[in-house]
A and B are shown apart, each in its own frame.
Chain A
Amino acid sequence: MTSTQAAPELSYLEHKVAMYRSQVALRRFEQRAYDLFLENYVKGTSHLSIGQEAIAAGVAAAMRPTDWTFATYRGHAHTLARGVPMTPVFAELMGRSNGLMAGKGGSMHLTSVEHGVMGSYAIIGAHLPIACGAAWSAQYRGTDQVAVCFFGDGSVNIGAFHEALNFAAIWKLPVIFFCENNLWMEYTRTSEVTAVANPAADRASAYGLESIIVDGNDADAVYEVASLAIARARAGEGPSMIEAKTYRHGGHSRADPGKYRPDDELAEWLLKDPIPLYRSRLLEMGVDEDELLVLEADVDAEVDTATNEAKAGAAPGEELLFQDVWADGSGSWRN
């Protein structure tokens, strides 16, 4: 085979199995990250996507390698879903030199430019205008890249959200704004502080955009709406905003037990857990359960290996402290 040959198209079922694998990998990674936090290997903070994996997996499957992801601090899943290996992500969470950014960014700022992960942003709303800029660059340079920008339901009430939506609409930018509506901000229900029922979708019309709502716990549904929006953006038809309904199974961050949420609400959403639902769908479609068992064991092994590799990493050295403040690699501000 020569390198100019395109990768073989995945069959319909292979594609679905791959999306399942991605969801399982995201889940098991996050569960391990939680354990590592409790064991004090992960310092500082971390925000897990347990319960929201169908979104990261479904959207990433609809993207091309040259497309761009802009994520929030809740960005482990989006980073991994674009193909970033687990070891550097675990290592970044642990502040090791083999981390994705050598420990200089931490959990909230995962970035891997070679995988199109153009950053994880920890100031609510800030990355929406930044994603617009990347989309503008693609439009200006005449590439057909698109930018996908994820944010939470609580992020729709900050000014940058509104500035970015209007900006993208008037310049017809190839950007997809993707709201992961998990109903909660940190410890407050978004509906208590938001004027409309669907925080993102109900605002779409204000910017001349279609209102799109999708079941965020169904990877196939997510894949489908994302594919449509991405195709539109690629064809020069401008931005889209998608609101996906989902739920985080755990707390907001760190070891937050999420006790502020009613028990029956959590129970109801656990029944809608995207991963078992997707698994049964695959079995119904005739996928052999043994294949899934092998796949799951394979993911577990990957998580174990990555954990060990990350733990084996050294602490970042002092030489990194002043490195890369500036483009010439230095940290020098005077002569």
Chain B
Amino acid sequence: MAQLTFREAIARGIAQEMRRDESVVFLGEDVGAAGGVFKGTVGLFEEFGPLRVRDTPISEQAILGAAMGASMTGLRPIAEIMFADFFAVCWDIVANEIAKSRYMTNGQLTFPLVIRSGNGGGLRFGAQHSQSVENWAMMIPGLKVVVPSNATDVIGLMAASVRDNDPVIFLEAKALYASKMDVPDGEIVDTLGSAKVLREGTDATVVALGAMVPKALAAAEELSNAGIECTVVDVRSLVPLDMTTILREVSATGRLFTVEENPRLCGWGGELSSIVSEEAFYDLDGPIVRITTPHIPLPAADALEDLAIPSVERIVTTIAKSMNS
């Protein structure tokens, strides 16, 4: 056991896979000697050298194009897009090329690659460096979408993503980079498409993702003091989606609340709600309620950003109001 920050876990997860498999290579802007702008890759350059940990120009299309071309010819690249907002300048490579080329070629090509990126708000960076883009990725057939919420999961899900033969968008909540936890020693390998029940309750099921998970847990603690017992489920991967766990937990409590950092329209909770109402409608004891960032560009000022992104307080009051009405 060692205490590790979320950002240290990223480097450990990548290093674990690079040690195991020579075909794993890593590329991105400022990722080499500099160790990444969020210091998520410190030590990789020193251990694996400039041929396996490669600094690139500021060319997001080239970075992801190169990752794609390398993955279809025998390598297993991990590419970094510094801020997830920057997916907008290379979305063609992600959405049109990487996601579709296996299907279009009738399975002739595979794309075992991981694209990791700093996602979401909380750092007062304003509307172009704070977006939660998991819903952008989720809506494209052919992409897997993984969003860890703690250091241990970062390592295990990174390993699972690198070993997976499909392209994985791996979104790291920037707000969690400094969070710490005790992480087991040795190799950690997790499974994609497995949601985790982090807390069991009898009254309501709260489903959260990424940076919203610790907030949902804190809210559940407060609600418990007020006599409302919540189950908290960490989705962990939007594609593949573990509906078995989610449906079971929703049916058990009869209520579903989603906590989403993405803006409201077409957020992942909308899809979840739709599946739950189709498949577990008669187990529900009340409306499904989505707690999301509103449909606005994120403001920079701390006072405003804190109002926009779901807070522990908003989660508590929303759930309490709905449960008591």
Contacts and interface: CB of A to CB of B under 8 A. Distances in A.
Q: Which residue among B62, B71, B77 has the maximum number of chain A CB atoms within 10 Å of its CB?
A: B62
Q: Which residue among A130, A324, A329 has the maximum number of chain B CB atoms within 10 Å of its CB?
A: A130
A119 B75 contact: no
Interface string A65-99: 00010000000000000000000000000000000
Interface string B109-132: 110100000000000000000000
Contacts of B92: 123, 126, 160
A104 B104 contact: yes
Contact of A327 (B25, B61, B93, B165): B165
Interface string A125-140: 0111111111111101
Contact of B65 (A102, A118, A132, A324): A132
A228 interface: no
Contacts of B64: 129
Interface string B164-190: 111000000000000000000000000
B103 to A, nearest CB: 5
A136 B108 contact: no
B107 A335 contact: no
**Size category, B interface:** 35 or more
Contacts of A105: 104-106
Given A129-B64, A130-B65, A167-B57, A137 B74 contact: yes
Interface residues of A, number: 50
B3 interface: no
B104 A164 contact: no
Nearest to B141: A325
A111 B104 CA distance: 9
A119 B65 contact: no
B97 interface: yes
B107 to A, nearest CB: 4
Q: Which residue among B54, B75, B107 has the maximum number of chain A CB atoms within 10 Å of its CB?
A: B107
A38 interface: no
B101 interface: yes
B166 A327 contact: yes
A257 interface: no
Interface string B56-71: 1101111011111111
